[in-house]
Amino acid sequence: MWPKEFDYVRASSVDDVIQQTTNGMDAKILAGGHSLLPAMKLRLSEPGKLIDISRLPDLKGISANGTLSIGALSTHAEIAASADVQQYCAALAGACGQVGDHQVRNFGTLGGNIAHADPASDPPTVLVAAGATIHIQGADGARSVSAEDFFVDLFTTDLQMGDVITRVEIPNLSGAKTAYVKMAHPASRYAIVGVAVVLQMNGSTCTSARVAVGGATARAMRSSGAESALTGSSLDDAALNAAAAAVQSDISEAVMGDVNYPDSYRQAMAGVYLKRAVKAAIG
């Protein structure tokens, strides 16, 4: 459980990070260290240099001004406790409040979480359902990627060498009903299955729905079938049953099980947790 020897530098700016990570093929960004350091100890990752970004002020802070802007270095605990996040996207505050334990929530950052793209992570599922945008600074300048396009596969994102996630932007969902629920692994608290919903309501009728599933699949993905089943309904039992069946069907090619929680179990649980997410959202 000892990592390979590495150099350590503290970055002075985002440009400095880009230069150092672009120059050194084996340099890696260090944020909260809660995914990278375990990977290094297991020798799954062997960077020659760590670029510590944890004190860069440009990557910190949460603000709400028409849209919600969350700096990449915001910790899960800060996001869960933020009144702005609770107002603009309650599901994200809820998801971050369910990440790991106190230590993980106090050190782990949103930027690190989504860059790592662990399929069992919680925030990616909410970001996909919420229609979030990931803002990135790289050697070729700044660019923005939708959360749906950002998560490409297992531990794989749209990030290129030298890219730094600067912030995550989320539309104002204060008028919508949102929720994230998960079946948590009993030891790590990572998601075995996680479902996020964003429901626009007109009285008791659901006028639009966005549904995303994570944990059960290699990357957080939307379920268009569940969204269609919920839209136009009063979210009654028939609609929920149809949506549950649709989500199971939509993830059937992508579902990813293991010896403890096989494919068929996770697929079934996606339907169960979809219903729970809708019920949690509408209270």
Ligand X SMILES: Cc1cc2nc3c(=O)[nH]c(=O)nc-3n(C[C@H](O)[C@H](O)[C@H](O)COP(=O)(O)OP(=O)(O)OC[C@H]3O[C@@H](n4cnc5c(N)ncnc54)[C@H](O)[C@@H]3O)c2cc1C
Residue 268: φ, ψ to 5°: -65, -40
Of residues 210-249, those binding ligand X (CB under 6 A) = none
Among 29, 90, 91, 209, interactor with ligand X by CB under 6 A? 29
Measured distance CA(2)–CA(5) in Å, rounded: 9
Please report how close the Cβ of residue 84 comes to ligand X at its closest, in angstroms: 20
Question: Which of positions 180-199 make contact with ligand X (CB under 6 A)?
Answer: 188-190
Q: Which stretch binds ligand X (CB under 6 A): 111-119, 146-154, 204-212, 239-247?
A: 111-119
Q: Output the residue with the shortest Cβ distance to ligand X.
A: 108
Strands 151-153 and 141-146: unpaired
Decide: 146 and 133 in contact? Cβ < 8 Å: yes
Work out which of 49, 116, 135, 279 binds ligand X, going by CB under 6 A. 116
Binding to ligand X by residue 119, rule CB under 6 A? no
* Minimum distance of ligand X from residue 39's CB (angstroms): 8
Contact between 88 and ligand X by CB under 6 A: the answer reads no
Give all strands (DSSP E) within 162-271, no chain letters: 164-171, 177-184, 191-202, 205-214, 221-222
34 binds ligand X (CB under 6 A): yes
Q: Which stretch binds ligand X (CB under 6 A): 4-12, 85-93, 159-167, 197-205?
A: 159-167
Window contacting ligand X (CB under 6 A); options: 97-105, 140-148, 231-239, 257-265 = 97-105
Compute the distance between CA of residue 124 and CA of residue 219 in angstroms, rounded to an integer. Answer: 8
Pairing of strands 141-146, 133-138: antiparallel
Residues 6+ apart with CB under 8 A from 203: none
Determine which helix (DSSP H) or strand (DSSP E) holds 150, and give its type and residue range: helix 147-150
3-class secondary structure, 283 = coil
> From the list 11, 18, 31, 79, which residue makes contact with ligand X (rule: CB under 6 A)?
31
Q: Which is nearer to ligand X, 187 or 259 (CB)?
A: 187
- For ligand X, the binding residue among 111, 119, 162, 271 (CB under 6 A) is 111
Task: Please name the helix (run of DSSP H) or strand (run of DSSP E) that holds residue 238, with its range, or none.
Answer: helix 237-250
122 binds ligand X (CB under 6 A): yes
CA angle 10, 13, 19 (to 5 degrees): 85
Select from 27, 64, 70, 72 the one that contacts ligand X (CB under 6 A).
72
Residue 30 touches ligand X, criterion: CB under 6 A:
yes
Residue type at position 141 = G
* Residue 80, SS3 per DSSP: helix
CB 135 within 8 A of CB 95: no
Comparison of 189 and 208: residue with beta carbon closer to ligand X:
189
Give the residues lining the site for ligand X (CB under 6 A): 28-36, 38, 72, 99-100, 104, 107-109, 111-113, 115-116, 118, 121-123, 159, 164-165, 188-190
